Amino acid sequence: MAQRLADPRHRADLLSTYFLFAYTGTIVPTLALGLLDQTMNQDVAPLILAVAAVATTLAGALSRPINAIT
């Protein structure tokens, strides 16, 4: 859908940006877990990462404006 809506001269840019964000979204948590695991206990690192993910999700959800669905 995004490919059809994009300007034909910028479709490759859009696709590469999409994949860049998708790969970043999968790599960053893995790197964060590896860094946390090196600095602290192996049982605490995943808990901290999970709490950070939940807090980020809640902050994003609570910052959205509430609109009535019509």
20 in a structural domain: yes
List, for residues 30-68, the tens digit of each pLDDT value.
Answer: 898 889 889 988 888 889 989 998 999 999 988 877 775
69 in a structural domain: no
**Contact 14/6 with Cβ under 8 angstroms?**
yes
70 in a structural domain: no
User: How confident is the model at residue 67, as a pLDDT?
Assistant: 72
13 in a structural domain: yes
29 in a structural domain: yes
Confidence of residue 17 (pLDDT cuts 50, 70, 90): confident
**Domain membership of residue 57 as a residue range:** 2-62
16 in a structural domain: yes
36 in a structural domain: yes
Confidence of residue 9 (pLDDT cuts 50, 70, 90): confident
CA distance 29 to 27: 6
pTM: 0.58
User: How confident is the model at residue 27, as a pLDDT?
Assistant: 93
How many domains, in total, are found in the chain? 1
